Structure 1
Amino acid sequence: MSITTMTLRVPDDLAPAIRHAAQHAGMSVNAYVVRAARHAATRDAAHQLAALGLGQDLAGEGDAL
């Protein structure tokens, strides 16, 4: 698996909440943000399929991840 490095700019008032949530989940901030991005991408793809009338049973799939 290849890895791409990205710079993420987060509002100052949100950063502590992300750090706390990652720590609470026992994850690094990087792993936590990657998991959240993967969750959102999966959910968005399922919603797009549902909007096209495809994969109706997948519409909420990202929500369960």
Structure 2
Amino acid sequence: MAVMTLRIPDDLDLAIRAGATAAGLSLNAYIVRAARRQAVLDAAQQLAELGLGELLCGEGDTL
């Protein structure tokens, strides 16, 4: 498992902590979930740009 140092702007810190608490997740799990979701969306966007977006219909977040 990789270890990263993440610098968060002060104005975003409280919102992230509140989101993690509301979701019942640790701060680490909350940030990992957000990063994973974005990575999946980025990959789906790349597939859509290749004309494969129709294959993704109904599979989660819209592109």
TM-score (norm 1): 0.84
- After TM superposition, the structure 1 = structure 2 runs for residues 36-47 of structure 1, keeping only pairs within 5 Å, are 36-47=34-45
Sort the Cα spacing of 1:17 and 1:61 in 2 relative to 1 into closer, same or farther, 3 A. same
Q: Distance in 2 between matches of 1:45 and 1:5?
A: 23
Query: Structure 1 runs of 4+ off > 6 angstroms?
Result: none
How far off is 1:56 after superposition?
Answer: 2.2
Q: CA RMSD in A?
A: 1.9
Classify the secondary structure of the residue corresponding to 1:49.
helix
Using the aligned pairs only, state the percent identity.
63
**Residue 47 of structure 1 aligns to which amino acid in structure 2?**
Q
Identify the structure with bigger relative contact order (alpha carbons < 8 Å, sequence gap 6+).
Answer: 1
**Which sections of structure 2, spanning at least 5 residues, go unmatched?**
none
| Aligned length, in residue pairs | 62
**Residue 41 of structure 1 aligns to which amino acid in structure 2?**
A
Sort the Cα spacing of 1:27 and 1:19 in 2 relative to 1 into closer, same or farther, 3 A. same
**Which sections of structure 1, spanning at least 5 residues, go unmatched?**
none
